[in-house]
């Protein structure tokens, strides 16, 4: 069985300080999102914002990736590269962003509609936010990894959407991807038991259509095979005796 690192209360407090900065920067980036803005411009803004805080980008230079942000539009699910593509009214934009603060990683993501929104897209995103909230509530001592996945899967699939299988959430701490893996699907009461001190990057990745993905020729961007819309919501969450503690809020 994989050894799942546990953090002390002091270490969690440090991660919380870093997570607040992660969330603050992401909030500032989304305030700049509008029709006509490019994801490359958001990347440049992230560069500027990172210089204003005592953090380093978590993604840049990780396994050869060259950017601060992961930006995904519409059918792009994960690992989208910032580009000169201008956002258009009604697009779904996902920004996935992480930082390193005093040696500790935090990671978060969310999807937002650019400009005006169609009602079906509003409903689509509301389901994802609800799934993440329910998954976070399972991050308690004594629960199991399968309880988190089941909370996500049951919420997403009951609304008629697809849960991504190709990528999963993960533990996070001194390295970005620690054990355990946290699928967005699973059976309740199955999998490793959650213990006080675990810190988890809980990810909800889902699609309006089929959940199957493919990788584009850039070697990074994963898109839905049927080109249906997708979205992602993620927080870094500590398992504590007092219940789940979301570390990535400003």
pLDDT tens digits along 137-172: 999 999 999 999 999 999 999 999 999 999 999 999
148: in domain: yes
**Structural domain that includes position 150:** 9-246
Q: 198 pLDDT band (50/70/90 cuts)?
A: very high
1: in domain: no
Which CATH number do you get for residue 122? Answer: 3.90.230.10
In angstroms, the CA 12 to CA 29 distance is 25
**Phi, psi dihedral angles at 220 (to 5 degrees):** -120, -55
At 116 the pLDDT is 82
In angstroms, the CA 179 to CA 85 distance is 35
2: in domain: no
Q: Which of 120, 97, 118 is nearest to 107 (CA)?
A: 97
Percent of the chain with pLDDT over 90: 96
Question: What is the pTM (predicted TM-score) of this model?
Answer: 0.96
Hey, which residues does 33 pair with through a beta bridge?
none
In angstroms, the CA 84 to CA 37 distance is 9
pLDDT tens digit string along 95-130?
A: 999 999 999 999 999 999 999 877 899 999 999 999
How many CB atoms are closer than 10 A to CB 14? 17
Hey, which residues does 218 pair with through a beta bridge?
none
166: in domain: yes
Written as one string, the DSSP assignment of 76-128 is: EEE-PPP-SPBP-TT-EEEEEEEEEETTEEEEEEEEEE-SS--HHHHHHHHHH
**Phi, psi dihedral angles at 137 (to 5 degrees):** -65, -20
190: in domain: yes
How many CB atoms are closer than 10 A to CB 87? 21
Look at the chain and report how many structural domains it folds into.
1
3: in domain: no
**Phi, psi dihedral angles at 154 (to 5 degrees):** -65, -35
At 1 the pLDDT is 57
In angstroms, the CA 154 to CA 37 distance is 35
165: in domain: yes
43: in domain: yes
Please state the rounded mean pLDDT for residues 71-88: 97
């Amino acid at each position: 069985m994989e050894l799942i690192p546990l953090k002390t209360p002091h270490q969690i407090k440090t991660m919380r300080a870093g997570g607040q900065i992660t969330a603050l920067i992401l909030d500032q980036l989304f305030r700049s999102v509008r029709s006509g803005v490019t994801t490359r411009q958001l990347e440049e803004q992230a560069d500027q914002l990172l210089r204003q805080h005592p953090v380093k980008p978590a993604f840049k230079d990780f396994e050869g990736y060259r950017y601060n942000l992961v930006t995904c539009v519409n059918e792009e699910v994960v690992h989208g590269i910032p580009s000169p593509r201008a956002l258009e009214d009604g697009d779904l934009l996902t920004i996935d962003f992480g930082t390193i603060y005093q040696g500790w990683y935090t990671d978060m993501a969310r999807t937002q509609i650019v400009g005006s929104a169609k009602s079906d897209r509003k409903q689509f995103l509301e389901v994802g936010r609800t799934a993440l909230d329910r998954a976070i509530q399972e991050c308690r001592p004594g629960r199991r990894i399968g309880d988190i996945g089941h909370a996500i899967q049951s919420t997403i699939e009951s609304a008629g959407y697809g849960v991504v299988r190709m990528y999963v959430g993960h533990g996070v701490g001194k390295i970005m991807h620690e054990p355990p893996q946290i699928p967005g699907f699973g059976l309740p009461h199955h999998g490793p038991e959650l213990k006080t001190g675990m810190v988890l990057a809980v990810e909800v990745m889902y699609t309006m259509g089929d959940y199957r993905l493919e990788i584009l020729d850039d070697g990074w961007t994963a898109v839905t095979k049927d080109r249906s819309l997708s979205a992602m919501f993620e927080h870094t969450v500590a398992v504590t005796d007092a219940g789940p503690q979301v570390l990535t809020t400003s």
